Structure 1
Amino acid sequence: MQKKWLKWLLLTVMLIVGISINGNGVHADDSLQKVKDKGVLTVATSPDYPPFEFQVNQHGHSKDVGMDIELSKQIARDLGVKLQIKNMDFNSLLVAIQTGKADMAIGGINPSPERKQNADFSQIYYYGGESFLINKADTEKLKNQSALKGLKVGTQTGSMQQSLAKKNLKGTKVVTMDKNTDLILALKTHKVDAVGVETPVAQAYVQNDPDLKMLKANYHLNKQDTGSAVALPKGATTLQTAVNQSIDKAKAQHLIPQYLKTAGKYMKVNTADTSMMHYWKYFFNGLKYTLLISVCAVAGGIILGILLVLMRLSNFKWLSWPAVSYVEVVRGTPMMVQVLLVYFGLGVLVNIPALPAGMIAVTLNSAAYVSEIIRGGINSVAKGQKEAAKSLGLSKTDALRFIVLPQAFKNIWPALGNEFISVIKESSIVSIIGVTDLVYELNVVRADTYRGVAPIVVVMAIYFIITFTLTRLLNYMERRMKHD
């Protein structure tokens, strides 16, 4: 009987696989048609890589510019659709096209064999070569690539520069960071001795920062793997063909050099005034989103936290066990992973924009901690209070509502206040998916102005003012509660 059951199961699985394979063979790729039907080409990029892509301050508003942005505009024009730019961390670009968040990704992406396993690529549209950035004071000491042996070289996480450095710089320690702006700051503060970047990027920094110098890399490079290409979803052959046609057109009309010149003009605009006051609207915009996310997360966290506590205190295991499991999973995993899971993981089923996804992730995270705070508050209420409520004829629900919870909230107010303050600071993690909070705007200003420390000081001051003011307000309310 068991063998017969297994036989039917095997046949069913084979039938489903056969239908899937046959379906894939019959239906042609419709990636290009989907873009045309939407009327929008969604492009994922990481705008911290001048001159490829960066942002310029125009009348207090940020605008995505650079060679790659100009090429994206050309591709959208050739397709007859509008262009939509989605900003996020470089590490998330390929994930964005795999999960349907974007139709293509651009950002000085090199089509390495490893990346080709998870994405398709256009033809190479630009090859700039590889270089190192070093401090000008180290010019005599670091005259060539061989002089880097035994020193620290910084590269962006997941980049071609990271792979090339590990492969070619024997005896050198490779240090990786997510942002090029962080790498430059590490270089200028002597945390690393050199930073590996593409030559146009090195030239951009040298032209705008007199303390930096460029050192040519002597890698043996395969141009097909190390040039820049557009990343596309696997199997998107019709869209790939259309993108290649646009690149052919750009090459034939010599548009790529023009795109670079345009990027250079924008870079001069950015460096004309690098004062933090010039970028006050950036910081104000980031502050608005930080406070919005924090308030929504705390409010939603309290509501969901109370629900989780009620489930956990229930006599029904089918309610208590899910609540316990949820709290343990959330508390046992980093918030960054949770943010990525909500944005990209759930994005496979539902296309959630970055801001709502960030709010949901922070809310779900806060709810787990709030539920434990509330549970501790309930347990802190004297057992005699519950017995007195019972003797008065109050039901368990009424006793919890009118007797236990009011006292519990009074006891846990300081802990809830600390959770609110923690959410304000920890919500900065949503910047990895392109939410324009304070940390996101911090990185934009650093990339635009080539100033590493000043924007950090400004954002630190803003966070301190928020948390200091909130702490004083919470302390005042706590004293009022004790007085009452």
Structure 2
Amino acid sequence: MKKGLQLLLLTLILPLVLTTGSALAATPETNSGNADQVESIAAIKKRGKLVIGTAADYPPYEFSVKEHGVNKRVGIDIDLGKQIAKDLGVKAEFKVMNFDSLLVALETHKVDMVIAAMSPTPERAKSVDFSKVYYGDSQYIVINKSDKAKYKHLSDFKGHVIGAQNGSEQYDIAKQQVKGAKLKGLDRVNNLIIALQSHKVDGVVMDSTRAKAFVANNAKLTTLDPHFKISGQQGTAVAVAKNSPELVAAVNKTITKLQKHNTFDKEYVPRAGKYMSQGAKQNTMWNYWNYFAKGVGYTIIIAVCSALFGIILGLLLALMRRSANLVLHGLAVAYIEFIRGTPMMVQIMFVYFGIGAIIQSMPAVIAGIIAISINSGAYVAEIIRSGIQAVSAGQVEASRSLGMSKRLTMRYVVLPQAVRNIWPALGNEFITLLKDSSLASVIGVTELMYQTQLVQSATYKGVLPLGVAMLIYFILTFTLTRLLNFGERKLNRPRQA
């Protein structure tokens, strides 16, 4: 029994050791020299694909549309990425995640480059290299049309709330130049527009191309050009890992060719505008049912797998915590307290970018399942422990007096009664897992919340897609509740002699 517990202990702590080691290993790899980066171009060509990080929620640069019943990513940045890959003789693979996670993904080598309407600011240039600017842009403020007479200059926003996307150049500009205003940052521009229309913010700072796209598709919005003072290069550029002169040169060669033939204004921008108009015409929720269906599928997969692994891990931790072995007991307590004391979103990102620095081929969905399972295991352990403690000590003593070993007593006497006692609490944990799967969207897992955000981008509707997502989550949780209640009735049904 003792050897078995020690083996299980090693199984539990191995992921933590790997995660810690990956954090240490990522530093020298990220700061590698030119020789390593020369080899990276050869590696890109050898594997036959260029992995590009993007946000896919920023028309006309990168967004998703439905064409002939098929979901596809389109926009200026998508076209540019495909052309860069073509010039390198490989295929383009786009990895979508939140904008403020893109540079982390680049530094941990989850992607080869980032093309996401990113401005080459001096602060970002300290950690990554940038190509030349491929498309110039100024900065606007989007406001409600009903407030057009109220806001004409930057000084008019004093004492009001201004919004900008987290991690963006617009956020820094607003922080520095909109004096006296309260700055509110959100991960997605769509959420900022929802906040604007619900008067949670009074204006949203974004680039002029994006701002004009929103105004063209929403009659209740308008733009304001406050003539921001921009230092350095103004426009968008491609980001690559630090000390990558060969890759930067290859990207610049493609950009120069496209700019020479005016491809951006002649082809890429009009094509993006065409897709945006198409999305505006097909912006009913029914046209995007397959987005929601795909999200539901991934949500269920994440919830089921995380629940299964969480129960296994939780049972092991509960037994370890009840063990007379002080080492096993201490490790279980430390694990449970640490996991319960840190946010799940942080754990998801740490697993993906931490372990992912070593296992670079790890899919985002696997990282999400691992992180959510690790988190769930800590809570399930306490639920199981409380159930075991609720079983009368007299029953344990009676079982031992009949000659049953500790293992048999736990298996046939204690655990069956504990499961009956903790079933409602486990049910709550399963329902929580189903909803918490939405946190995996931060690393690009295409679950329900992630797909909802894509629908928001494609339709320029903020609240309605959220309403559909809420209804779907309710249907899922209500169905699960009915199943759990059925299981509870089966457990509590008295056995016939």
Tell whether the structures are fold-level matches, with TM greater than 0.5: yes
Could you say which residue in structure 2 is the equivalent of 1:390? 400
**Deviation, structure 1 residue 28:** 7.0
Equivalent position to 1:325, from 326, 331, 334 = 334
1:77 to 86, 92, 99: 86
How far, CA to CA, are the matches of 2:178 and 2:156 in structure 1?
Answer: 10
**Contact 2:33/2:243 (CA < 8 Å) preserved in 1?**
no
Q: Distance in 2 between matches of 1:288 and 1:70?
A: 29
- What letter is aligned with 1:83? A
Identity of aligned residues (%): 48
1:267-308 CA deviation, whole Å, 9 max, x = no partner? 011111211111111111111110111011101111111111
The alpha-carbon distance between structure 1 residues 457 and 28, as it changes in their structure 2 partners (threshold 3 A), is closer
After alignment, is 51-60 or 164-173 more displaced?
Answer: 51-60
In the TM superposition, residue 415 of structure 1 has moved relative to its aligned partner by 0.5
Alignment-mate amino acid for residue 273 of structure 2: G
Matched residue count: 463
Choose which of 236, 239, 246 in structure 2 pairs with 1:238: 246
Match of 1:255 in 2: 263
Name the stretch that deviates more: 268-277 or 468-477. 468-477
Q: 1:121 is matched with which residue: 122, 127, 130?
A: 130
Measured against aligned partners, the alpha-carbon deviations of 1:239-291 in whole angstroms (never above 9, x if no partner) come to: 11111111111111111112111100110111112111111111111111101
How far has the Cα of 1:150 moved from its partner? 2.0
Whichever residue aligns with residue 46 of structure 1, its letter is A
Aligned to 1:434: 444
Q: Could you tell which deviates more after superposition, 398-407 or 142-151?
A: 142-151
Alignment-derived partner of residue 224 in structure 2: 215
Question: Does the C-alpha gap of structure 1 residues 465 and 437 become closer, same or farther in structure 2, counting only changes over 3 Å?
Answer: same
SS of the equivalent of 1:220 reads coil
| Contact 1:300–1:363 under 8 Å retained in 2 | yes
The aligned residue for residue 147 of structure 1 is 156
Q: Distance in 1 between matches of 2:148 and 2:440?
A: 39
- Write the distance in 2 (CA, Å) between the matches of 1:321 and 1:92: 35
Matched residue, 2:191:
182
2:421 is the counterpart of 1:408 = no
| Residue 386 (structure 1) shift | 0.8
Selected match of 1:304 from 304, 313, 317: 313
Displacement of 1:26 after TM fit? 7.0
Given that 2:106 and 2:114 are in contact with CA atoms closer than 8 Å, whether structure 1 keeps it comes out as: yes
**What SS does structure 1 have at the residue aligned with 2:140?**
strand
TM-score (norm 2): 0.91
SS for the counterpart of 1:146 is: helix
The answer to whether the Cα contact below 8 Å between 1:152 and 1:172 also exists between their aligned partners in 2 is yes
Tell me the equivalent position of 1:313.
Answer: 322
Q: Pick from 378, 383, 388: which aligns with 1:373?
A: 383
Cα shift at 1:472: 2.0
Extract unaligned runs of 5+ from structure 1: 1-18
CA distance in 1, matches of 2:254, 2:295: 36
Shift of 1:27: 6.5
Does the 8 Å CA contact 1:145/1:216 hold for their aligned counterparts?
A: no
Q: Supply the distance in 2 between the matched residues of 1:181 and 1:424 (Cα, whole angstroms).
A: 24
Secondary structure at 1:30's aligned position in 2? helix
Distance in 2 of aligned mates of 1:62 and 1:100: 27
State the AA in 2 paired with 1:149.
Answer: K
SS of residue paired to 2:243: coil
In 2, are the aligned partners of 1:122 and 1:229 still within 8 Å (CA)?
A: yes
How far off its partner does 1:25 sit? Answer: 7.8
The one-letter code of the counterpart of 1:103 is: D
- How many Å separate the matches in 2 of 1:182 and 1:474? 34
Indicate if the aligned counterparts of 1:145 and 1:215 stay in contact, CA closer than 8 A: no
User: Which residue in the other structure is 2:143 paired with?
Assistant: 134
Task: Kindly indicate whether the alpha-carbon contact (under 8 Å) linking 1:31 and 1:237 is maintained by their aligned counterparts in 2.
Answer: no
- Helix, strand or coil at the partner of 1:49: coil
SS of 1:293's partner is: helix
Of 474, 478, 482, the match for 1:468: 478
Query: What is the SS of the residue equivalent to 2:457?
Result: helix
Match of 2:237 among 202, 205, 229: 229
Deviation at 1:223, TM superposition (A): 4.6
3-state DSSP class of the match of 1:107? Answer: strand
Deviates most, 186-195 or 253-262: 253-262
The offset of 1:36, in angstroms, is 1.1
- Residue 355 of structure 1 is matched in structure 2 by 365
- Aligned with 2:368: secondary structure? helix
CA deviation digits over 1:29-77, x for unaligned, max 9?
3222121111110000001111111111123432111101111111011
Amino acid at match of 2:235: G
Is the CA contact (8 Å cut-off) linking 2:37 and 2:244 kept in structure 1? no
Q: Per-residue deviation at 1:98?
A: 0.7
Amino acid at match of 1:42: V
Q: Deviations over 1:335-373 (max 9, x none)?
A: 000100111111111121111111111111111111110
Kindly tell me: are residues 28 and 386 of structure 1, through their superposed partners in 2, closer, same or farther at Cα, counting changes over 3 Å?
closer
Q: TM-score, normalised by structure 1?
A: 0.93
CA distance in 2, matches of 1:301, 1:87: 27
**Residue type of the alignment partner of 1:185:** I
Q: Give the Cα separation in 2 of the matches to 1:223 and 1:415.
A: 56
1:181-203 Cα offsets, whole Å, 9 max, x none, are: 00000000111111000000001
**Superposition deviation, residue 313 in structure 1:** 2.0
Q: How far apart are the structure 2 equivalents of 1:322 and 1:59?
A: 55
Match of 1:91 among 86, 100, 104: 100
> Is the Cα contact below 8 Å between 1:60 and 1:279 reproduced in 2?
no
Query: C-alpha separation between the residues in 2 aligned to 1:219 and 1:25?
Result: 37
- Output the aligned Cα RMSD: 1.6
**Paired amino acid for 1:460:** M
137-146 or 199-208, which deviates more: 137-146
Report the residue type matching 2:255 in the other structure.
I
Counterparts in 2 of 1:26 and 1:99: CA distance versus 1, 3 Å: closer
Counterpart amino acid of residue 119 in structure 1: V
Secondary structure of the corresponding residue to residue 167 of structure 2:
coil
Specify which of 50, 54, 79 is matched with residue 59 of structure 2.
50
